[in-house]
Amino acid sequence: MKTVYLLRHGEALHNLVDKGAGSYERRRDPSLADPPLTDKGTSQALAARDLLEKALSERGEGKFDAIVSSTLQRALQTAELAMLPLKAENAPVIALDQMVEIQCDDVWNESRHKDEVQRDWPSWELEFAASEATHPFRLLDTAQSLIRRAEFVWNYLMQLPGSVIGVAAHGCILFFLSRRIAASKGHRMPPFKEDRWQNGEVRRYILPPADGMAMTWTEYGGYLDMMDYDFYNRYHRRASFVNVARLRGFEAEIWWLAAEWRWSRCDSEIEAELEKIEVANSFSFPSFLSAEAIAKCCFARIKA
């Protein structure tokens, strides 16, 4: 068993523009790639440090035996402000690519290449489990690949030295990780609308040994609130279809990609089209693209 303090990054520049009118159009704005913390986000990280210091002291847990962050700037900045001052001497600080935010074509979430992270964050050890091979395009995370990433992170944390681990990451991957751990115990967690990870929020978990399962989306979904399952199931089906379209070269023909399609809870025209294609057996996900392969292709280096 390990004690893990999970921390969502502080507010970053993209959080000011990633919702509301025009947000879908801004998703590819190069000025928003790997955004830094805002002044508010910096304050949130410093407040998290105070909270963590108090929690570690009151529970007699001392210092962090290891610190792990996503490879994105906003998580690394948050970890350096909130967690590094509280680490034990010689404790490893690790940037892990599999902890980046959901890969769904938002430029602010896209994983950075290993050499770029090494250049900008030389004091961090880098763990890049994903493929660095050249690939013609990125694939989108699906609900299934997010489960695989959560399971990878869980296993990775359990293998670290020491008993108290600090983790700085992102809302969606923390959602999937916390619910995957709860599912291993047969527990349900509150619905997203009541349990959303806030910027700078800290939660303490007792991390059990990994259960060794490769949980399917259907199994995992059974532990979610019905509205959360409906939401992510819609996204899962649509993202899977877009991945196939990219592989087979007909993405440009998908009319509904012109507007926000990922997070709408209900769009009868999109759902009707997907059902029609599935019934006609013209949509089949290539067998070589398992959830593990998708998780790797999401991070693959793009051909020039």
Assign residue 260 the CATH number of its domain. 3.40.50.1240
pLDDT digits (tens), the chain, 304 positions: 899 999 999 999 999 988 877 888 888 899 999 999 999 999 999 999 999 999 999 999 999 999 999 999 999 999 999 999 999 999 999 999 999 999 999 999 998 999 999 999 999 999 987 555 445 568 899 999 999 999 999 999 999 999 999 999 999 999 999 999 999 999 999 999 899 999 999 999 999 999 999 999 999 999 999 999 999 999 999 999 999 888 888 899 888 888 888 876 667 788 887 877 766 655 555 544 455 555 555 555 444 3
Cα gap 200→77, rounded to integer Å? 12
Question: Which among 239, 188, 206 has a CA at the least distance from the CA of 6?
Answer: 206
Q: Which residues constitute the domain of residue 71?
A: 1-304
The total of structural domains in the chain comes to: 1
**What is the rounded distance in angstroms from the CA atom of residue 52 to the CA atom of residue 259?**
41
> How many residues does this entry show for the chain?
304
Chain Cα centroid distance, residue 99: 5
